[in-house]
Amino acid sequence: MSGDLPPAPDVVRSSYAELVVTDLARARWFWVEVLGLHAESDRDGVLCLRGTDELTHHNVVLREGPAAALSHLAYRVRTPADVDRAEAHFAALGCPTRRIPAGSGTPGVGDAVRVIDPLGFPVEFYYAIERGERLIQRYDLHRGAAIARLDHFNIVVPDIDAAYGHYRGLGFGCSETIEDEHEMYAAWMYRKQTVHDVAFTGGAGPRLHHLGLATHESHQVLHIADILGSLHAENHIERGPGRHGVSNAFYVYLRDPDGHRIEVYTSDYYTGDPDHETFRWDVNDDRRRDYWGNAVIESWYKEATPVLDLDGRIAPIEESRIDESAIRVGADGLGSPREVR
Residue 144, interface with ligand 4SX (CB under 6 A)? no
| Structural contact between residues 217 and 209, judged by C-beta atoms closer than 8 angstroms | no
- Among ligand 4SX, Fe ion, none, what binds residue 37 when CB lies within 5 to 8 Å by partner kind? none
Does 245 interact with ligand 4SX (rule: CB under 6 A)? Answer: yes
158: contact with ligand 4SX by CB under 6 A: no
- Select from 256, 263, 290, 324 the one that contacts Fe ion (CB under 5 A): 263
By CB under 6 A, the residues from 201 to 240 that bind ligand 4SX are 212
- Nearest distance, CB of residue 144 and ligand 4SX, angstroms: 19
3-state secondary structure of 176: strand
For residues 140 to 169, the per-residue mask of contacts with Fe ion, x marking binding by CB under 5 A and - elsewhere, is --------------x---------------
Total site size for ligand 4SX, rule CB under 6 A: 13
- What residue 244 binds from Fe ion, ligand 4SX, none (CB within 5 to 8 A, per partner kind)? ligand 4SX
Among 56, 175, 194, 247, indicate the residue that binds ligand 4SX (CB under 6 A).
247
Distance CA 199, CA 114 (A): 20
Q: Closest approach of Cβ 330 to ligand 4SX, in Å? A: 18
202 interacts with Fe ion by CB under 5 A: no
Q: Which is nearer to ligand 4SX, 127 or 301 (CB)?
A: 301
How many Cα atoms within 13 Å fall on the side-chain side of residue 131? Answer: 3
CA of residue 114 relative to chain centroid, distance? 17
> What is the maximum alpha-carbon separation in the chain?
61
* CA 232 from centre of chain: 27
Closest CA to 148 of 85, 220, 66, 236: 220
Name which position in 62, 184, 224, 246 contacts ligand 4SX (CB under 6 A): 246
Partners of 318 in beta bridges:
205
Span 277-296, contacts to ligand 4SX by CB under 6 A:
288-289
Min separation Cβ 165 and ligand 4SX, Å: 20
Residues 6+ apart with CB under 8 A from 301: 201, 203, 323, 324, 325, 329
In the complex, what is the shortest distance from the CB of residue 205 to Fe ion, in angstroms, rounded to a whole number?
16
Q: Mention every residue, 6+ apart, whose C-beta is less than 8 A from residue 326.
A: none
244 belongs to the binding site for ligand 4SX (CB under 6 A): yes
Task: Supply φ then ψ for residue 215, to 5 degrees.
Answer: -120, 165
DSSP secondary structure string, 29-98? Answer: IIIIIIS--EEEEEETTEEEEE-TT--BS-SEEEEE-SS-EEEEEEEEESSHHHHHHHHHHHHHTT--EE
Of 107, 212, 245, 257, the one binding Fe ion (CB under 5 A) is 212
User: How many whole angstroms separate alpha carbon 77 and alpha carbon 272?
Assistant: 18
From 15, 52, 59, 154, residue interacting with ligand 4SX (rule: CB under 6 A)? 154
* Contact residue for ligand 4SX among 82, 263, 286, 324 (CB under 6 A): 263
Give the interface with Fe ion as residue ranges (CB under 5 A). Answer: 154, 212, 263
Give the interface with ligand 4SX as residue ranges (CB under 6 A). Answer: 152, 154, 199, 212, 244-247, 249, 263, 265, 288-289
